[in-house]
Amino acid sequence: MTDGARTATLPGPAPREVATHCPYCALQCGMTLREEHGQVTVLPREFPTNRGGLCQKGWTSAELLTHPDRLTTPLLRDPVSGELRPASWDAALDRIVTGLRDTQQRHGRDAVAVFGGGGLTNEKAYALGRFARVTLGTRNIDYNGRFCMSSAAAAGMRAFGVDRGLPFPLSDLGRADTLLLVGANPAETMPPLMRWLTEQRQRGGKLIVVDPRLTATARQADLHLQPLPGTDLAVANALLHIALTAGYVDESYVANRTTGFTAVRRTVAGWWPARAEALSGVPVADLEETARALGTAQRAIILTARGAEQHAKGVDTVTGFVNLALALGLPGRPGSGYGCLTGQGNGQGGREHGQKADQLPGYRKIDDPEARAHVARVWGVSADELPGPGVPAYQLLDSLGTASGPRALLVFGSNPVVSAPRAARIEGRLRDLDLLVVADFLLSETAALADVVLPTAQWAEEDGTMTNLEGRVLRRRALHRPPPGVRTDLQILTTLTTRLKGGAPSYRLAHRKGPLLTTIEHAADGADATDGEHGADPRAVFDELRRASAGGLADYAGISWERIDAADGVFWPCPDEDEADSPRLFADRFATPDGLARFHPVEHRPAAEEVCAEYPLYFTTGRVLAQYQSGNQTRRVGALRRAAPQAFVELHPDLADRLEVTEGEPVRVVSRRGEFHAPARLSAAIRPDTVFAPFHWGGAARANSVTNDAVDPISGMPEFKICAVRVEKAGTS
Ligand SMILES: Nc1nc2c(c(=O)[nH]1)N[C@H]1C(S)=C(S)[C@@H](COP(=O)(O)OP(=O)(O)OC[C@H]3O[C@@H](n4cnc5c(=O)[nH]c(N)nc54)[C@H](O)[C@@H]3O)O[C@H]1N2
Ligand SMILES: Nc1nc2c(c(=O)[nH]1)N[C@H]1C(S)=C(S)[C@@H](COP(=O)(O)OP(=O)(O)OC[C@H]3O[C@@H](n4cnc5c(=O)[nH]c(N)nc54)[C@H](O)[C@@H]3O)O[C@H]1N2
Ligand code: SF4
Ligand SMILES: [Mo]
């Protein structure tokens, strides 16, 4: 008997395969899921972003589909024992509907709030915004993307008139002569992206990394600038100062394609390199080398990520680098540009379709009368009925349960008890709510506080679209249906709408061309999902999203699932099904009314909290390869838990000596807001005045117990990347 025949005689159904994308980060690596004998295997798939590569999180992602911790029934808090108990969908939905109605009757429509996530598909993000504005009629909706790339989004908006993380395909990185990464550690946060950086250097390109730590990414760089956290803006202004004096500025580009440079020229005149060195610790020679490498390259790319952005001056810091890019004539020049590395799986699409407090679908502004009229028409309501703008995420979370804030909250796709700044305070606010509803597939720290927990489907169990860090719209394809008892987020929203309004939302179909490709239909296992399920078809939701976005900045009107299937995704804006999509932006004009990019003068300012005698160290936070975000998913995956079993506090050996702390010894990190505990990890890779911890753990190891809740005045981004702390041996008091 041949091997093939042996395989063929095995019992059970034929293996099933589906080409889809990873459930985690914005790289959205292509993968194939293969199901055989009830086992799901992840296989890498050739896709333009990952070129067959996957990181450890992607490889192990299927483990959660059948994980014993998986939620398969709704949970209701027992009023007597105070515990969460399994309940029927009917009982759970009744509790929610009664609670929402009661709250709104007593305290008004805005007393109910919604919190979404950048991991939700486009369809869900869109449906969530519509649910909040139309079904609930509340202005109070925002999402965790506020904690993610909101500063880069705001800076991009005001400079270019549009916010698309990368305005060019990722493959451009491989051909850049000079690549400057500011506060990005893709070697841990997007490992397959490193292939492009390897290619770049093999072609003779120069890689420069700006990070207070000598990270795995910085180790591969030709030049590592190691600034004090929170001083990137001084570095950016000094680089532009040098570019001006050395004659690297592209004066004709500045004259023809931009406006506002005079004021910036004046500001950066005061940023002579020695001044930036004194503030940031980056040597003048390194600043000069960086400016030269950028200024003399034919193809130069500047990228920022969370290290530069998660500050109370994040928008201005990004603007500093955008100013530099514009002065050098990079945006729109082939192979050059400025971009932000978006983080969450649908961090890009999640910020376009209306789960943001100030936004309607298509990246429209909710206070723009024309935008309101257009979207209201699509939704079949009057524009007057649509609420106005709400407040950004931190402000929203911090107002929960207070006299003037919302009294009920629905959470889809976030775990703020672990991931919000000053998390102990936010945890308290969540506890003060009259009603907390969390939809999740695993009991997160936030779900554990809820009155009602709804078990939702996972990525491999539903269809939808995601928009990756390049602005490329992709298809997430279902492998199989959700397990019994589990519903999709769209089903939950539809069912709630039916029960609250007495009728399901009908998603209006756009005109479709060509035959429908067969997909696994969304899960509508009749027995569970009784009411309103016809509004839960992701394809119908996407078709309505196309119409709602038509004419907006993020125009999806010409993107159909069929078109995505026929290519490696479709780049927005794409207004017309018969026209090409937009992999590269800004070749001829920017998305501003006059087509010119805008310079904005920006000045360095200190962090919201400076070190002092009591809190003498800078504290910064970030990620490790084997854990994702609040860790609710990845802390449960065996291989990932073994690779990164617990939190740690990274500190320089000299500092450890002074504190008399040894490797592995438990330490306590204390700020004005709280403390957390974790073992010390000694490393010469970090500045001696700065300590670092990952934020992936909750409980006593929660880094966000100490972080600062100061926010950027424009974006609402919290200052996750710098605050003042002291570090003590855990045994002392
Ligand atoms: N393994 C893993 N991968 C992920 C995620 C995850 O949780 N785990 N999350 C995804 C998401 S949502 C996001 S947003 C991305 C984030 O991706 P990154 O932005 O690459 O990740 P971070 O680790 O938050 O921050 C990057 C670096 O900023 C540095 N840094 C800290 N303070 C400063 C500063 O003041 N200035 C500068 N220049 N650098 C500073 C840190 O030392 C860190 O190395 O990752 C995505 N990918
Ligand atoms: N100190 C510090 N704090 C940070 C950061 C930092 O760098 N430092 N980074 C910030 C950033 S960039 C981000 S993006 C946030 C992220 O922080 P969170 O918003 O907490 O992100 P996740 O852990 O991804 O939470 C997603 C939750 O939703 C569930 N989930 C996943 N997919 C779905 C879905 O489709 N539907 C539903 N209903 N649930 C789903 C998951 O199981 C998980 O419990 O953290 C921020 N917090
Ligand atoms: S890099 Fe991101 S998308 Fe790719 S496998 Fe890892 S987590 Fe998934
Ligand atoms: Mo993020």
Residue closest by Cα to atom 5 of ligand 3: 58
Place of tokens 């078109």: 563
**pLDDT of 528:** 37
**Ligand 2, closest atom to CA 120?**
35
H-run or E-run covering 498? helix 489-501
Say yes or no to pLDDT of 513 above 80: no
Give a yes or no: residue 707 inside a domain: yes
Question: Residue 522 has what pLDDT?
Answer: 35
Token pair for residue 110? 């805005």
Q: Which atom of ligand 3 is nearest to the CA of 58?
A: 5
Residue matched to tokens 């709630």 = 496
Residue 453 forms part of a structural domain: yes
Across-strand partners of 32? 19, 43
b/e map 6-41, b = 16+ CB within 10 Å: eeeeeeeeeeeebebbbbbbbbbbbbebbbeeeebe
**Local structure of 303: helix, strand or coil:** strand
Name the residue at shortest CA distance from atom 46 of ligand 2.
419
426 near 398, Cβ under 8 Å?
A: yes
The residue nearest atom 47 of ligand 1, judged by CA position, is 189
Residue 328's φ and ψ, nearest 5 degrees, are: -85, 0
Is the same domain home to 222 and 305? Answer: yes
Q: What local confidence, expressed as pLDDT, does residue 2 receive?
A: 37
Paired with 344 in beta bridges are 25
**Ligand 1 atom showing the smallest separation from residue 215 Cα:** 44
For 409, counting Cβ atoms within 10 Å of its Cβ (0-12 exposed, 13-18 middle, 19+ buried), the class is buried
Ligand 3 pocket at CB < 6 A: 22, 24-25, 27-29, 50, 54-55, 57-58, 190-192
**Residue 610 in domain:** no
> Final residue of a domain: which of 288, 308, 341?
341
Number of the ligand 3 atom closest to the C-alpha atom of 190: 1
Report the C-alpha gap between 85 and 77 in whole angstroms: 6
| CA dist., res. 180 & res. 63, Å (int) | 36
pLDDT tens sequence across 316-336? 999 999 999 999 999 999 999
Q: Is 202 found in the same domain as 118?
A: no
Which of the residue ranges 95-104, 159-168, 527-536 would you say has the lowest mean pLDDT?
527-536
Minimal-distance CA residue to ligand 1 atom 4? 189
pLDDT tens digits along 113-147 = 999 999 999 999 999 999 999 999 999 999 999 99
What is the rounded CA–CA span in Å between residue 676 and residue 314? 25
Q: Which residues surround ligand 4, an ion (CB under 5 A)?
A: 148, 343
Stretch 692-711: mean pLDDT, rounded?
98
593 is a domain residue: no
Instruction: Give me ligand 1 centre to Cα 306, in Å.
Output: 5
Identify the band that residue 60 occupies on the pLDDT scale cut at 50, 70 and 90: very high
Asked whether residue 514 is domain-assigned, the answer is yes
pTM for the model stands at 0.95
**Which tokens is 664 given?**
């592995």
State mean pLDDT over 632-657: 98
- Count how many domains the chain has: 4
Ligand nearest to the CA of 182: 1
Note the pLDDT tens digit of each residue in 61-94.
Answer: 999 999 999 999 999 999 999 999 999 999 999 9
Q: Which residue's alpha carbon is nearest to atom 20 within ligand 2?
A: 415
Q: Check: CB of residue 330 under 8 Å from CB of residue 337.
A: yes
- The stretch 512-533 carries a mean pLDDT of 37
Position 62 scores a pLDDT of 98
Q: Which residues contact 581 (CB under 8 A, 6 or more apart)?
A: 558, 559, 570, 571, 572, 574
Q: How many angstroms separate the CA atoms of 566 and 85, rounded?
A: 46
Mean pLDDT taken over the chain: 94
Q: Which residue has the tokens 């990464």?
A: 181
Which residue did the predictor score with more confidence, 44 or 9?
Answer: 44
Contact 26, 186 (CB under 8 A): no
Cβ-contact 731, 663 below 8 angstroms: no
- Are residues 410 and 527 part of one domain? yes
Q: Which range among 36-40, 443-447, 624-628 shows the weakest confidence by mean pLDDT?
A: 36-40
Residue predicted with more confidence, 733 or 476: 476
Final residue belonging to a domain, choices 321, 341, 361: 341
- Which whole number is the average pLDDT over 99-111? 97
Separation CA 641–CA 675 (nearest Å): 24
With pLDDT > 70 as the criterion, what percentage of the chain qualifies? 93
pLDDT, position 501: 87
Cα of 360 vs centre of ligand 3, distance in Å, is: 29
Other C-beta atoms closer than 10 Å to the C-beta of 526 total: 7
Q: Is residue 400, in this structure, part of any structural domain at all?
A: yes
Give the pLDDT score at 15: 87
- List the residue whose alpha carbon is closest to atom 24 of ligand 1: 622
Domain co-membership, 142 together with 156: no
Residues 567 and 629 reside in one and the same domain:
no
Atom of ligand 2 nearest to the CA of 441: 42
**Do 268 and 356 lie in a common domain?**
no
Residues whose beta carbon lies within 6 Å of some atom of ligand 1: 25, 148, 182-186, 188-190, 210-213, 215, 229-230, 232, 305-308, 343-344, 620, 622-623, 625, 627-629, 692, 721-722
The whole-number pLDDT of residue 14 equals 79
β-partners of residue 359 are: 365
Same domain, 29 and 100: no
Question: Looking at 309, 341, 373, which one is the last position of a domain?
Answer: 341
Mutational pocket test of ligand 1: of 306, 340, 640, the residue with most ligand atoms within 8 Å of the beta carbon: 306
Residues with CB under 6 A from ligand 2: 117-120, 144, 147-148, 306, 310, 343-344, 412-416, 418-419, 439-442, 444, 456, 489, 621-622, 629-630, 632-633, 695, 703-704, 707, 720
> Rounded CA gap, 249 and 253, in Å?
9
Q: What is the pLDDT of residues 355-384, one digit of tens each?
A: 999 999 999 999 999 999 999 999 999 999
Average pLDDT over residues 425-450: 98
Has residue 504 got a pLDDT over 70?
A: no
For 7, the token pair is 């395989």
- Has residue 606 been placed in a domain? no
**In this structure, are residues 373 and 383 in contact, taking their beta carbons and an 8 Å threshold?**
yes
For atom 30 of ligand 2, the residue with the nearest CA is 413
Backbone angles phi, psi at 509, to 5 degrees: -80, 135
Looking at residue 12, its pLDDT comes to: 59
DSSP state string for 209-221? EE-SB--TTGGG-
The one-letter amino acid at 656 = A
CA–CA separation, 626 and 638 (whole Å): 11
CA nearest to 419, candidates 708, 703, 115: 703
Answer whether residue 534 shows pLDDT above 60. no
Claim to verify: residue 300 and residue 441 sit in the same structural domain: no
124 and 161 fall within a common domain: no
Residue from 147, 180, 185, 189 to probe ligand 1 pocket by mutation (most atoms less than 8 Å from CB): 189
**CATH at 46:** 2.20.25.90
Residue 507 is predicted with a pLDDT of 62
Segments forming the whole domain that contains residue 633: 617-729
Q: What is the CATH number of the domain that holds 369?
A: 3.40.50.740
Q: What CATH number should be reported for the domain holding residue 266?
A: 3.40.228.10
Angle between helices 489-501 and 122-130 (to 10 degrees): 20
Enter the tokens of residue 339.
């971009």
Whether 375 and 515 share a structural domain:
yes
Q: Clarify whether residues 366 and 458 are in a common domain.
A: yes
Residue 161 has pLDDT above 80, yes or no: yes
CATH number at residue 633: 2.40.40.20
Same domain, 62 and 154: no
Residue 595 included in any domain: no
DSSP letter assigned to residue 644: S
pLDDT for residue 505: 60
| Of the candidates 238, 308, 241, 319, the residue with the CA atom closest to the CA atom of residue 277 | 238
548 three-state secondary structure: helix
Asked if pLDDT for residue 485 goes beyond 80, the answer is yes
Q: Whose CA is nearest to atom 33 of ligand 1?
A: 307
pLDDT, average across residues 568-591: 97
Cα torsion 615, 616, 622, 627: sign: negative
